[in-house]
Every structure is written in structure tokens, then in C-alpha cells.
Structure 1
Amino acid sequence: MIGRRGALAAPFLLSGAARAQGHFTRPLRLIAPFGPGSTVDLMARALAGPLGEALGQPVVVENRAGAGGNIGVEVAARAAKDGHTLALGTSGPLAINPALLDRMPYDVATELAPVSLLAIGPNLLAVGPAVVAADLGALIAQAKARPARLTYGSSGIGSSNHLAGAVFAAAAGVELNHVPYRGNAEMANDLLAGRLDMVFSGLPPVLPLLQAGSLRALAIAGPRRVPLLPAVPTMAEAGLAEAEAVVFYGLVTVAGTPAPVLAALSAGMRQALGRADLQATYTGLGSAAEGSSPEEFGRLISSETVRWRGVIQRFGIRPG
């Protein structure tokens, strides 16, 4: 028996899907602006099937990596204004890079149209075998006893995990030594060998090492605990609410796309994100599937840009 909420929702989803399908006449391109196997790539490929069903056309994922995600997002910014080319943007190319770089290949505010938020995922703080601290309080005490001696790795200068480390250090009142890496494999090797003390990272790159006991997660830099690591507290639970540092994922297309097409894409996203299998996949990637209207996603992009610009200016972070 369908409850009142389900009875009301079902016709809405069907009518939304019908409206969405009428606007698309050929397969859609979904640009993943990071490489195969990345969290963005996995999210895009999990979304492609459900979104294609909702829109009535196949959705084909295309990897266009480089320049911190800017190359792929630029593809969407230069596409035909018909809604057939989307990019799965993240905090990097949509909020951090515009605040970090003097020159961008596109203007987020004027050349891109938000479609929908897709998911929000936290960074987490994990330590290697060289760190004996059992919890965040002990780690902070160790860092205060050895100013600027403890090291933390990230995926590059100005990356979300670099900034996560910066806001953590400021909130905790400690000095840490940042070490940027080009790839997760090299960073993991240094962690395991004791040449690097800790890392701020999304969940997928470090989950196998956490499950094997090679690394230990001390805190989640997000608003809630991660289901895959239920015993790991949030920064706020440890008394460092200011150290929250999440990554958002969402769809954008070219500015000037007709409003009915954007509405159709938004309706298709609502239907896709309502699927339990997609939600389970994103949970397995350490992120919570969260949809939005185009306007809500636009406001999130703007607020995150303001926040990260303040962090970048405060710490004098410049691209490497």
C-alpha cells in the first residue's frame, strides 16, 4: 500500500519525466572533469543510467581531465545552448579555482548555468603509522608540542584537501607543514612508510587503507558522521566546528540554455536522485546524495566561493 506521500509523489515524478523527455533529441554528454577511477568519474557513471532513463536519451560520460577540473568544465561552458552537454563540477572548478587563480578559462557566474546539486562529501583527517595519537585531542597536543614539524599531504596546492588542512590548523591553533602531491599513490606510499604524518582526503582514495588498518581516521570534516566509518567523530563533535570542509558535486551546463530545458534537466535529476541504488552508490563513495533546484545550487556555489576566497586570502595561498 502506497502512503499519502508516495501517492502524491508518483504522479509528479511521472509528469516530470514526461516533460524532461520532450526536450532531448539525441544522447547527452556528461563531462567528468577528472580522470577515470576518480570520485567524480564514479559518480558520473553511476548517474548516467538513471538520468538517461529520466530524460529519455542515453547519457554518455566523457572524461576531460586537467587544470584542476577547469578543462572539463570549460567544455560545458562552450557547448551549444540546448542542454545536451553537462559537466559534473565540484568545489574545485566551480568555487575554489575562481578564488585561487588570477585567470580562469570561463566565468562561473556568467558563462555557466547551475542545474542541480548532486552530492556533498566531507574531507577526513587520517594519520599514518608514524603518528601515535589515538584521537584528535592527542594529535593537537602533539602538534602544539612540535610546531611546524607534523606534515600533512594533499592532492595539490589550492585543492579542497589542502584548504581543509589550513582551516583545521587555524581552528586547532597549530602549525602544520603542507606537502602537496601529484597523485594519491605516492602520497599513500609516504604515509605508510612514515615519511608523511597525516592526510586530508575524500573517503574513496583512503578507504581501503582504513579498512586494512594501515591508516586511522581521526575526524570527519563534515556536518555528520560517515556511515562507512560510524565510530569516527566529526570535527564539530571534537570541538572544532570551524574546521568543517566539504566538497560539493553538481551538474552545470552553458549559460543561456532555455529555462524550459533547465527545468527538464532539474526534473530528471530529481527522479534520478530518488533511486535507492544511486543513493547507495554515493553512500559507498562517502557522500550523501542531495538534489536541489538550479537556484539553490547557484546560491551554494556563490557562498562556497566567498568562503574559500576568504581562506585563500587569509593564508596567502598561491597556485604552485
Structure 2
Amino acid sequence: MATRRSLLAAGLALPAFATVSRIAAAQDVFPSRPVTLVIPWAAGGSTDTLGRLLAQTMAADLGQPVVVENRGGASGTVGHGHVARARPDGYTFLLGTNSTYAIAPHLMRSLPYDNRAAFTGLSLVARSAQALCVHPSVPVSNVAELIAYAKSKPGEVTYSSAGIGASSHLATELLQAKAGIRLLHVPYRGGGPSAQGLLAGEVAMSFVDLVTALPFRPTGQLKLLGVSTAERSQLASDVPTLAEAGVPGFASSTDVIMLLPAGTPAPIVTRLSASLQKALADAETRRKIIGLGIEPIGSTPAELDSYWTEELAKWGEIIRSQNITLG
């Protein structure tokens, strides 16, 4: 009787064990279906193009399609909220910019997610410089002259931005704080209209994406006084940084990071991180990214966490000290 019970137990146990093994094996294979990369901005911008380049290269490495999904709205927070609510299984991740993950939390009264606790950081991805540009009618040829000119006309020299809270707006607020000047803000609805306003002479100055500004330099339609990043850009190595040009400690840029929903298993984080770093190291992908005026970077999750903390503190201080609100 005991032998019969043992045989029955063994007979029942074997199918159950086999089922568990199949489930475990399926979970170990990542990814086993298409992955979605959410971009919290409309299609067509530089961040969207960057995301699509990375998605294509990562798909080849992962062996599954990486589908780009644009979820714009509310300064990028709609897309962030979508990923924050996604299942933490690695099949949904996010390409975010500092206007959302470092600036929006200080400008918005409430967010539909916890800006830090809702996400697992994957990597600092890339950095895009802006150029401090003036209209040719402005009688200055360098940053020192612009500062002196602004000080002679406090609150009168106009500047455009892509909107309140945009990186072009905050970069100018940082300039005002560090240079001790007071300018007049003219917000536009997007980076394109902001640049067009400057080209048309509707405003005196603006921070413009470097790759957008460069074609107007040889034609004399814009004067490029400095780049916003801590180091000079490969695209315009003769243009000094703002720090070199007389604003010590100035550094501002559009920084792109990659995030996953909080709670994503460590092996999946490691797999996606390795795939992203491989994409950023790929020679052809790097060439295309640099052609966009964007510097590929890459980092560990721990390095991203430190950077994120510093970026939040930096822009929080500027927003408070300059009394910036959404109106």
C-alpha cells in the first residue's frame, strides 16, 4: 500500500514539477516578446529621433522589436505617469529629459506619480548643448558685452524660450542668477517657435539647441556667444562655454536618461543596461547621434542616481530663488 501511495505521489508530482520548470524557463528568457520604449514628447523632435536610433540598435541586440510609443503632454509628465504605472517586468521603459524628471517636480503642485520612488534608473543616456544666441541687431559680440548691455537696461532685454519650465527658460534663469542681470521673458509654445521669434527679431536673445542654431551662424542671422555645457561642443569647438566666457560655474543642457518602473527585477535591469551601453558604443549609432548635436554618454544605475539627486537640487534652488511659477 505504501508503495502504491509513493508511486501515485510521484506520478502527481512530476507534471506539477514540469509545469513549474516551464514557467521558470519562460521567465528567465528576457525579452520573449516586443519591448516598448515610451517617449514623453511628440514625434519628430531630437529626443524622439534619439530614442528611435537607440530602439533600432537595442532591438538587434535583444532579439525582439523595441517599439517606440510617443505619449506627450503636460511637460512630459503624461508619459512618465504611464511608465510609473506599468508592470515592472522590463517590457515598458522610458526616455526622459531633465525638464520633466528634474524641473517639473519643482514647478507643478502635484504629480500623478512619485518622481523618484516610482522608477528604477537605468542610465544617463545623452546630453544636448544649447547655444546662447543674440539677434544681429543687438550691439554685443561676446558674453561679457551682453551682460554689460543687460545691466544697462534692467528688465528690458527680451529673451524667448520654449515655454515656462523648458530647458531654454531655466538656462536663462540660471544665467540671470549667476550674472546678476534681469531680463524680460517672452515664452513661446515650443523650441521651434522660440527660435523663429529670435530670428525674426521679436526678442533680443535666447538659448537655442546648438544643432538648430549652427546653420544661422555663417549667414549672420544669429550671433552665437557661448555654449551652455561645461565643456565645448565638438560641433562648434571655437565657441566658448558660458563658464569660459565670464559666467563661472554655469552649466545647463538637455540631459536624457532611461528609466524603468520601480521594482523591475535586477537581472532584467542588468540585461537592458548592457543592451543600452552596447547601443551607445556602436560606431554607426554614435555617428548618427552626434550628427543630431547630441553627445552620447552612458552610465551605471548608481551614477544616474547620484546625477539625478544633484540635478533636482540644482534646478530646485534656481526655481525657488528666481520665484518661477507656471503662472
Q: If the length of structure 1 is used for normalisation, what is the TM-score? A: 0.89
**2:165 equivalent in structure 1:** 158
Whole-angstrom distance in 2 between the partners of 1:187 and 1:179:
9
Contact residue 131 and residue 213 of structure 2 kept, 8 A: no
**2:155 equivalent in structure 1:** 148
Whole-angstrom distance in 1 between the partners of 2:31 and 2:125:
21
Residues 1:90 and 2:90 aligned together: no
Q: What amino acid maps onto 2:100 in structure 1?
A: P
**1:38 equivalent in structure 2:** 45
Whole-angstrom distance in 1 between the partners of 2:211 and 2:40:
17
**2:184 equivalent in structure 1:** 177
Whole-angstrom distance in 1 between the partners of 2:63 and 2:168:
37
Whole-angstrom distance in 1 between the partners of 2:228 and 2:267:
37
1:48 pairs, out of 45, 55, 61, with 55
What's the % identity of the aligned pairs?
39
Whole-angstrom distance in 2 between the partners of 1:279 and 1:241:
30
2:239 pairs, out of 207, 232, 241, with 232
Residues 1:75 and 2:78 aligned together: no
Greater Rg over alpha carbons, structure: 2
Residues 1:192 and 2:176 aligned together: no
2:266 pairs, out of 255, 259, 263, with 259
1:216 pairs, out of 205, 214, 223, with 223
1:102 pairs, out of 105, 109, 118, with 109
1:150 to partner: Cα distance:
0.8
Runs of 4+ in structure 1 off by over 6 angstroms are none
**1:118 equivalent in structure 2:** 125
1:171 to partner: Cα distance:
1.6
1:212 to partner: Cα distance:
4.0
Assess, with a 3 A threshold, how the Cα gap between structure 1 residues 211 and 28 changes in structure 2: closer, same or farther: farther
Whole-angstrom distance in 2 between the partners of 1:265 and 1:246:
25
**1:302 equivalent in structure 2:** 309
Contact residue 130 and residue 208 of structure 2 kept, 8 A: yes
Q: Deviations over 1:297-319 (max 9, x none)?
A: 12211210111111111111111
**1:7 equivalent in structure 2:** none
Whole-angstrom distance in 1 between the partners of 2:56 and 2:193:
33
RMSD: 1.6
1:296 to partner: Cα distance:
1.3
In structure 2, runs of 5+ residues without a counterpart are 1-27
Contact residue 159 and residue 206 of structure 2 kept, 8 A: yes
What is the count of residue pairs matched by the alignment?
300
Contact residue 38 and residue 94 of structure 2 kept, 8 A: yes
In structure 1, runs of 5+ residues without a counterpart are 1-20
Q: What amino acid maps onto 1:209 in structure 2?
A: F
Q: If the length of structure 2 is used for normalisation, what is the TM-score? A: 0.87
**1:281 equivalent in structure 2:** 288
1:292 pairs, out of 273, 294, 299, with 299
1:242 pairs, out of 233, 244, 249, with 249
1:59 pairs, out of 63, 66, 70, with 66
Choose 308-317 or 244-253, whichever is displaced more. 244-253
Whole-angstrom distance in 2 between the partners of 1:199 and 1:142:
15
